[in-house]
Amino acid sequence: MPPGRFGLCDRCAHQRLVRTSRSVFSMCGRHADGDRRYPKYPPVPVGRCVGFQERTAPD
């Protein structure tokens, strides 16, 4: 998968990648956690998002 494919989501703590045999989709974890203000599969690349939270490196 090329870097930056999903825009801001690629650096977001809430991004969840959904892989199928043919493709990869960026799913918003905020939607999956019940916050319907965020689309489940946002149109990409995402340039702005009020729910963005920088992903931290794993410990």
pLDDT higher than threshold 50 for residue 33: yes
Read off the DSSP letter of residue 46: B
**What is the domain count for the chain?**
1
Q: How confident is the model at residue 57 (pLDDT cuts 50, 70, 90)?
A: confident
Q: Which residues constitute the domain of residue 39?
A: 1-45
pLDDT higher than threshold 50 for residue 1: no
44: alpha, beta or left? (left if phi > 0; alpha if psi -120 to 50):
beta
Q: What percent of the chain has pLDDT over 90?
A: 81
Q: What is the pTM of this model?
A: 0.82
Is residue 12 domain-resident?
yes
Is residue 15 domain-resident?
yes
pLDDT at 4: 65
